């Protein structure tokens, strides 16, 4: 059965290339043997750099289940998730990730995430994009408010 889910993710990636809707990536979120979210990369068709297949499949699954965590769900991706998608997978608390193409395969055709991984390992002061902290004390007011909120939904 697992092959069916990966076959679907791969089919989404191939169809996406052929339709011209975006890059060669597809993803499927599965819960208890049923697809609850699926998507293909829509970066170029939506002018949204975050519209990766995994992100869109996670959004669809969360919407369908009316939840913000996907514990007990698995994701099948046509390619090893990029750093952004990997972060989303952890935030969504997916149980398992299956992938077909490796990050090195994606890099060979122009989808190279190695810069991002290197940048994340750098101290903030040494990153290529300047990162300047400001107004921390003022911003801490929101954190104090959250910390003291008795009816917050913890995630």
Element (H, E) at 121: helix 114-121
Q: What pLDDT was estimated at residue 98?
A: 98
- What pLDDT was estimated at residue 59? 98
Mean pLDDT of the chain: 96
Asked if residue 41 lies in contact with residue 16, where contact means CB atoms within 8 angstroms, the answer is yes
Catalytic residue among 7, 32, 54, 69: 54
The answer to whether 30 and 46 are in contact (CB under 8 A) is no
138 tagged catalytic: no
Place of tokens 């104090």: 144
CA distances from 94 to 25, 134, 153 (A): 19, 34, 19
pLDDT of residue 1: 64
Segments of the chain with pLDDT less than 50: none
């Amino acid at each position: 059965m697992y092959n069916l889910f990966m076959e679907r993710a791969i089919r989404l990636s191939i169809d996406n290339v052929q339709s011209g809707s975006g890059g060669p990536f597809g993803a499927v979120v599965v819960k208890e043997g049923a697809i609850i979210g699926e998507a293909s990369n829509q970066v170029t068709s939506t002018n949204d750099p975050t519209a990766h297949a995994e992100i869109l499949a996670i959004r669809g699954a969360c919407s369908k289940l009316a939840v913000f965590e996907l514990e007990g769900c698995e994701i099948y991706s046509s390619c090893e998730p990029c750093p952004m998608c990997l972060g989303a997978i952890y935030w969504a608390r997916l149980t398992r990730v299956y992938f077909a193409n490796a990050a090195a395969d994606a890099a060979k055709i122009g989808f190279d995430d190695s810069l991002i991984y290197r940048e994340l390992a750098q101290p903030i002061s040494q990153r290529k994009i300047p990162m300047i902290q400001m107004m921390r004390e003022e911003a801490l007011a929101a954190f104090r408010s959250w910390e003291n909120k008795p009816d917050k939904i913890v995630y």
